[in-house]
């Protein structure tokens, strides 16, 4: 299976997350996109006091009805920080026949040198880099960490090819400027999330009283 992987805290999941997944699916021809909520994100504290189970449920509700979207609790089953490289390694072991494509925003791609054991990520999965507002990748190889630049060559249509055979593809799509932090602020102020998150997610947030001061 040609499998897309989209990780994040999803705190809460919103329409930009869903649009990124759909655009990546179409651009790369993915058969399925697997949403992977982070259990214990390593790069930033989890805001809002929302549990993994609640974030998992919001994602489940958001993707319900899309035949090519699925969800995984793989990071909740593992102790310690939710490092991407360890998740990819686990999925590679569990699904050896699948072709893995890790979906990441251009802002995160430009900071990938700060990630735990980042060099191994390029050997475990191909990357699909989605353009995010304010984060433009203009010189793909030169904007990679210096330690791995020599491992890449330019391929067709602007893709980068790693010595392992994995690739990095850059995808331009409509850029929805929605942030989870901004949504939490709206809820705290008593504002509506209509047209920013799926209705089922907004209903869940209201029912559970999430993100209230």
* Adjacency order of strands within the sheet including 99-105: 69-71, 32-37, 2-8, 99-105, 126-130, 167-171, 160-162, 152-154
- Token couple for 80: 């310690």
pLDDT in tens, 32-54: 999 999 999 887 778 888 999 99
Neighbours of 154 (CB within 10 A): 11
Bond prior to 12 in cis (omega within 30° of 0): yes
* Tokens 């759909």 sit on residue: 22
Supply the mean pLDDT for the chain.
95
Q: Are 101 and 125 in contact (CB under 8 A)?
A: yes
Smallest CA-to-CA distance from 5 within 112, 126, 186, 131 is with 126
So what's the pLDDT on residue 85?
98
**What is the rounded CA–CA span in Å between residue 78 and residue 74?**
7
Helices 52-63 and 199-208, packing angle to 10 deg: 150
pLDDT in tens, 116-166: 999 999 999 999 999 887 788 889 999 999 999 999 999 988 899 999 999
Smallest CA-to-CA distance from 106 within 66, 147, 144 is with 144
**What is the rounded CA–CA span in Å between residue 185 and residue 69?**
28
Question: What is the 8-class DSSP label of residue 127?
Answer: E
Neighbours of 197 (CB within 10 A): 27
**CATH fold for domain 2-178:** Rossmann fold (3.40.50)
pTM for the complete prediction? 0.95
**What is the rounded CA–CA span in Å between residue 50 and residue 34?**
21
| Domain edges within the chain | 2-178
Q: Are 12 and 48 in contact (CB under 8 A)?
A: no
Give the model's confidence band at 213: pLDDT under 50 very low, under 70 low, under 90 confident, else very high.
Answer: confident
């Amino acid at each position: 299976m040609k499998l897309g992987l989209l990780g994040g805290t999803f705190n809460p999941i919103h329409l930009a997350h869903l649009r990124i997944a759909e655009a990546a699916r179409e651009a790369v021809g993915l058969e399925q996109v697997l949403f992977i909520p982070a259990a214990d994100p390593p790069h930033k504290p989890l805001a809002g006091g929302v549990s993994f189970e609640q974030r998992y449920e919001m994602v489940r509700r958001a993707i319900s009805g899309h035949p090519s979207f699925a969800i995984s609790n793989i990071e909740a089953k593992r102790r310690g920080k939710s490092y991407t490289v360890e998740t990819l390694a686990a999925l590679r072991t569990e699904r050896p026949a699948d072709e893995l494509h890790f979906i990441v925003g251009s802002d995160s791609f430009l900071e990938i040198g700060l990630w735990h054991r980042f060099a191994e990520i390029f050997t475990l999965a191909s990357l699909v880099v989605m353009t995010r507002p304010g984060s433009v990748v203009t010189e793909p190889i030169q904007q990679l960490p210096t330690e791995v630049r020599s491992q890449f060559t330019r391929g067709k249509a602007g893709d980068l090819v790693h010595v392992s055979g994995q690739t990095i593809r850059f995808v331009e799509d409509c850029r929805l400027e929605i942030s989870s932090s901004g949504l939490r602020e709206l809820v705290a102020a008593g504002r509506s999330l209509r047209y920013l998150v799926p209705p089922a997610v907004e209903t869940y947030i209201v029912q559970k009283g999430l993100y209230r001061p």
